[in-house]
Amino acid sequence: MSYSFPLNMKYEPLPRQIENINIVEDGEIRGILRWQNKRHHDERGSFGELIRFRDLTPYLPKPFPVAQMNITHNTRTGTLRGIHVSAWEKIIFLPQGEANLVFVDLRVGSPTYGRVSINHVFARLNTGFYIPAGIGNAYLTLSDDTEYLYLTSILWNPEYEIAIKWDDPSLNINWGIWPKIISRRDREAKPLKELIPDFDKLVAEAK
């Protein structure tokens, strides 16, 4: 069975059991990793580590080659970006503000295919996420001036990314609040049943 790239990205299991107490696997989608690092505060402000690749790499299917680092600034509460499915892995942080981060598993052969994971994230918690290729990613800001920082494993290429309708009834996502600002691209994105006609069948097979 073949679909448009990157909807044919295959599931890769984690290579070993996680033994680092600061790193956990997502409870809904296999292969997503999450961690938190402390921030240290004094009269100047704060300092905190975002990531130590030495600690994360043993639990990835392969080493993460940082090819690009991007940041978005979202001026207003209720700004939605996504859902985007990419052919690259991502490492994500929220350095400022508050948002609901949404992930959708669309990897071929994944035991959690079709599942949705919703994560309420505050910048002050200093949380990081590792997202495998083939997992849809979106976020909705819950505060003004929210920033979203992410690293990619290959250079961004529009041919290697597909947008999915943010309110796709097949996914039934509870966004928390109603979005106020959405790009034209995301408003006009297609639902999954147009991109993957047998989506419901694949979800049932994964259960």
pLDDT tens digit string along 120-131? 999 988 999 999
**Does 14 map to a domain?**
no
Judged by average pLDDT, the poorest of 42-46, 96-100, 129-133 is 42-46
**Number of domains the chain contains:** 1
**Does 96 map to a domain?**
yes
**Does 37 map to a domain?**
yes
**Does 71 map to a domain?**
yes
Q: Which is the catalytic residue, given 59, 84, 113, 139? A: 84
Q: Which is the catalytic residue, given 41, 113, 148, 150? A: 150
Active site residue 150: yes
Q: Which residue has the higher pLDDT, 207 or 105?
A: 105
Pairing relation of β-strands 68-74 and 181-182?
unpaired
182: domain CATH number is 2.60.120.10
Can you give the pLDDT at residue 32? 98
Rounded percentage of the chain residues whose pLDDT exceeds 70: 99
Query: Confidence band (pLDDT; 50, 70, 90) for 202?
Result: confident
Q: Which domain holds residue 51?
A: 23-206
